[in-house]
Amino acid sequence: MSDTWDYDLEYEQFLRLAFGIEQRKILSRYDDPAGVANAAEFSPDNLEVVKASVAYAIMVYRKTISKQADIQQSDKTRISNYVIKVVNAECLTDISDLITGFNESIVNRYFKIEDGCIDLKNI
């Protein structure tokens, strides 16, 4: 069993949510155009791809929040800092911790996710 066992599904879910935002649904497995929203991609051999995928997903969340909700300046700064930290991450555990933190501080604050659908909360 790999060291990433606890983190790979979180990575996949994070990307599937972000990449499905425009359709307001969680993408099905393997449905993202780049094929990166897959737990199998979360491996040390793919560290740079994982970084790029997570950073891009964060920017998708940011764009969606910015155009549809009143985002606080502190959250804009926090989101930008997450991107920087992901790009500078040295291992998958660091990235997983950043995904968890982003989910707790941004995704849970601005989005409601239920029954396979994702939408902005009324804030």
For tokens 């930008």, the residue is: 80
Residues 6+ apart with CB under 8 A from 10: 96, 99, 100
State the pLDDT at residue 123.
62
Residue ranges of the domains in the chain? 8-120
Q: Which of 62, 74, 53 has its CA nearest to residue 11?
A: 53
What does the pLDDT look like over 35-79, one tens digit per residue?
Answer: 899 898 999 999 999 999 999 999 999 999 988 767 888 889 999
Asked whether residue 2 carries a pLDDT value surpassing 50, the answer given is: no
Tell me the range of 15-24, 25-34, 60-69, 94-103 where mean pLDDT is highest. Answer: 94-103
The alpha-helical segments, DSSP class H, found in the chain are: 8-19, 47-68, 73-88, 92-102, 108-110
The pLDDT-based confidence of 116 (bands split at 50, 70, 90) is confident
State the pLDDT at residue 6.
62
Q: Report the SS3 class of residue 122.
A: coil
